[in-house]
Structure 1
Amino acid sequence: MTEPLLYLSTRGQSPAATISSAIAAGLAPDGGLYVPEALPRLDPGAFDPHGTLADTAATLLAPFFTGDPLAEALPAICREALDFDTPLRPMPRHDAHMLELFHGPTAAFKDVGARFLAACLRRLPRADERPLTILVATSGDTGAAVGAAFHRQPGVRVVILYPDGLVSPRQAHQLGCFDDNVQALRVQGRFDDCQRMVKAALNDAALQAERPLSSANSISLGRLLPQMSYYAHAALGWWHEHDSPLNLIIPTGNLGNALAALWVREIGLPIGEICLSCNANATLPEFFEGQDYRPREAVATVANAMDVGAPSNFERLRWTFPYAAELRAQTQAISVDDSTIRDTLSRHAREHGEVFCPHTATAMHLLDRLRSVGNSSPWTIVATAHPAKFESVVEPLVGHPVAVPPALAAMLERTASAEVMDADDEALKRWLREPAYA
């Protein structure tokens, strides 16, 4: 049998794990994030040039699942999870393209990772017959994607923590509309509080013994790895057509979506320059400019899904690029404030009839900046969510209603509710221990 690829903790204090056990656990026992012992290398010629997104994903991820019980099921997992398009559409006015990642059931790119993770966990045997509780902190989009992916899945419960009042009204409705095995908690704090609370619960051995827990944030490899697939698929299609690498501008907050693209480039597929666009939370832009990494409390912005002051995937980023100078030479990041996001949305709607979500607008602003200084390279903007999810921000700026995708409209017709939760680690642990929850 082929030796399995093993996974290590970014903090180096946990035993090596298989991909199945790493996906099941979510977080390593020492609180670190799982990473492969070494990133595999892939030949672009190994991919079917006429294959679907699911075909690309199966080829791309096969080395990561080498020797694992899930390896045989990987093609079926990919077909099950990636049954919608992530089209690369031309933007002729800008001599650019847009990679649309919002055609899944909850209208955001998070659907890709959430559906893949759910498909994996459905196939993993569990010795413990008690329900598995999946904890997810969300700044807006992750929670709905996870809720939809695991809704009514036997033996699984989902607990979504989101910052009360800091997500869009439609996002909040999505988060609380599932019932059954999905529970939403309105945390009286910020996203970073939600993320800290989830990590504290996952790292509590006594709580884990009482309530088996796992994670569905991008700290989970089951979320991160499949996000590589749409970058690989787009880059390979571009390479076959243009014989050149694909340059990307990626909106990012918690760094998972950006890290997925960086990993695709590291394993040898044709991705060229990568630029990151952030909102007013400037932790990453400051680091890429040469300052020390300085996590801080998140600032609320109109691009709320990126309201992250302490991006958890930074640990994986530094594992991948231990030398900061090398990383900074390959990647740049900018911070875009709310006023600029609003101006970008309004101006592009007025001048070009283009409508974006606020997060995608940060990437569009960076493209505008590059063009203004004479950069004529072919760029691809990554569109992370449908603008209809942010109607309270977008519609007043573009001057007309934004059509709602059918799947999102169906969710908005359901009744929604969420329970209030203090921004306190112990409050969540007490809630998880309650007999009513057992």
Structure 2
Amino acid sequence: MSAALRYLSTRNANTHATLSEAIAAGLAPDGGLYVPERLPTLSPEDFSAGGTLADTAATLLSPFFAGDALAGELPAICAEALTFPTPLRALTHHPKTLVLELFHGPTAAFKDVGARFLAACLRRVRSDASNPLTILVATSGDTGAAVAAAFHRQPGIDVVILYPDGRVSPRQAHQLGCFGDNVQALRVQGRFDDCQRMVKAALNDAALQAQSPLSSANSISLGRLLPQMSYYAHASLAWWREHREPLNLIVPTGNLGNALAVVWVRAMGLPIGAIRLACNANTTLPDFFAGEDYTPRQAVATLANAMDVGAPSNFERLQWTYPDNQALRAQFRAQSVDDRTIAATIAQHAREHDEVFCPHTATALHLLDQYRAAGDDLPWAVVATAHPAKFESVVEPLIGRSVDVPSALAAMLQRSASAESMSAEDGALRGWLLDKAAQHVEI
């Protein structure tokens, strides 16, 4: 059996935990993000050619779980969480232009993969329902609904979702507020970065944690990040077996969690070629990769709202993976795509190819359109992060028709929804959580 990995803080290598402890905590006590002390290495031959996504995940993640209390449960966790497809589909106009569709889960976004996996893990490491754990989630649109769906009515766990009021799509907002029971949505009067800052402040508040045990389900959680690696491994291995060439990927990214997952899969030795990061008008990452200092800034609102992040949390993990900035910049490229181009890309692909995409996926499609126009004939997969029906107010006017709504999303839209307003201040969330703890009742 492989030696057990320790999990360290990005800010202090002397701060370490087991995997179960890291998943339960969400954030390291010093405010850093947990990372494995080293990335394991694997080869295509380690994976079963006929395996399911859950099988691929179990093999991929086995070295991360080795020696942990959850190790024996890993196959069951994968089978429980990964029950929907993540197909790699060729587009009609070019045989090497592919889409990796990650929106076939219950809330029609890629976040379902990580959220369901995290919930399956916490069901096994949390057994004291008399002392509820509160999962805090800052969301720019899709994370909150995925976490709510994964933890809805789970004993011993409450979910508190913070989202920027007026900066998510109407259907996203409805999803966030439609669960009830142990799920509470808070409409923060600010940006996503405010929500993220408030969550981190609460997680780092020892006195608050003593009265109200807290954890995170954002991509700062290893329990979210690790399973997101599985669909990249599964897709790249399938392509490799058939074509004997690596698959290149373009990933829409905001907080860098989904992008970091593919970065780690490639670093582990699996057959992934070039990685490109597609961003919206929030240029923190494109500016860094162009040679500027890393400078977080306030997020601006865009059509691709789930990527409206000015201070991407997972940049710490990216710099842990490649500590030298010059080496890091040599590994990737990042490009910004403005709203006008996003809209034009959605309209063009619907008109010319009868393919409909969400605004986030359109940022990646635009990059690929540029590559093809320049004569690039390599195999590229665009990562489709959400179903276009979640953004009907953006997409439908551009394509001139309605978008079919997946059945699970349609069912959520039939429920009533509500959310409580909150100011964008750390103290507002702290006071709200203390009041909740004092009431000694589940939400």
Judge same fold: TM > 0.5, yes or no. Answer: yes
Instruction: State how far apart, in whole Å, the 1-side matches of 2:424 and 2:183 are.
Output: 20
Aligned to 1:258: 259
Residue identity opposite 2:84 in structure 1: F
Q: CA deviation at 1:304?
A: 0.1
Residue identity opposite 2:108 in structure 1: A
Aligned to 1:98: 99
Aligned to 1:270: 271
Normalising by structure 2, we get a TM-score of 0.97
Gaps (5+ residues) in structure 2? none
Aligned to 1:148: 149
Q: Answer yes or no: is 1:393 the counterpart of 2:389.
A: no
Residue identity opposite 1:20 in structure 2: S
Aligned to 1:166: 167
Instruction: State how far apart, in whole Å, the 2-side matches of 1:228 and 1:301 are.
Output: 27
Cα contact 1:13–1:30 (8 A) shared by 2 = no
Q: Answer yes or no: is 1:46 the counterpart of 2:36.
A: no
CA distances 1:157-178 after superposition (whole Å, capped 9, x unpaired): 0000000000000000000000
Instruction: State how far apart, in whole Å, the 2-side matches of 1:201 and 1:405 are.
Output: 35
| Secondary structure, aligned partner of 1:29 | coil
Instruction: State how far apart, in whole Å, the 1-side matches of 2:16 and 2:258 are.
Output: 25
Query: Share of identical aligned residues, percent?
Result: 74
Aligned to 1:229: 230
Q: CA deviation at 1:396?
A: 0.2
Instruction: State how far apart, in whole Å, the 2-side matches of 1:154 and 1:253 are.
Output: 32
Cα contact 2:186–2:420 (8 A) shared by 1 = yes
Q: CA deviation at 1:44?
A: 1.2
Instruction: State how far apart, in whole Å, the 1-side matches of 2:199 and 2:361 are.
Output: 27
Aligned to 1:416: 417
Aligned to 1:407: 408
Residue identity opposite 2:71 in structure 1: A
Instruction: State how far apart, in whole Å, the 2-side matches of 1:34 and 1:14 are.
Output: 12
Instruction: State how far apart, in whole Å, the 1-side matches of 2:2 and 2:276 are.
Output: 37
Aligned to 2:313: 312
Q: Answer yes or no: is 1:69 the counterpart of 2:62.
A: no
* Corresponding residue pairs, total: 438
Residue identity opposite 1:376 in structure 2: D
User: What are the equivalent positions in structure 2 for 1:347-386 lying under 5 Å apart?
Assistant: 347-386=348-387
Q: CA deviation at 1:128?
A: 8.4
Residue identity opposite 2:427 in structure 1: E
Instruction: State how far apart, in whole Å, the 2-side matches of 1:110 and 1:185 are.
Output: 19
Q: Answer yes or no: is 1:33 the counterpart of 2:16.
A: no
Instruction: State how far apart, in whole Å, the 2-side matches of 1:278 and 1:319 are.
Output: 21
Cα contact 1:55–1:78 (8 A) shared by 2 = yes
Aligned to 1:214: 215
Q: Which moved more, 1:328-337 or 1:103-112?
A: 328-337
Residue identity opposite 1:136 in structure 2: V
The runs of at least 4 aligned residues of structure 1 exceeding 2 Å deviation read 125-129, 435-438
Aligned residues: CA RMSD: 1.1
C-alpha change, 1:125 and 1:174, in structure 2 (3 Å) is closer
CA distances 1:152-208 after superposition (whole Å, capped 9, x unpaired): 000000000000000000000000000000000000000000000000000000000
Residue identity opposite 1:18 in structure 2: T
Cα contact 1:188–1:420 (8 A) shared by 2 = yes
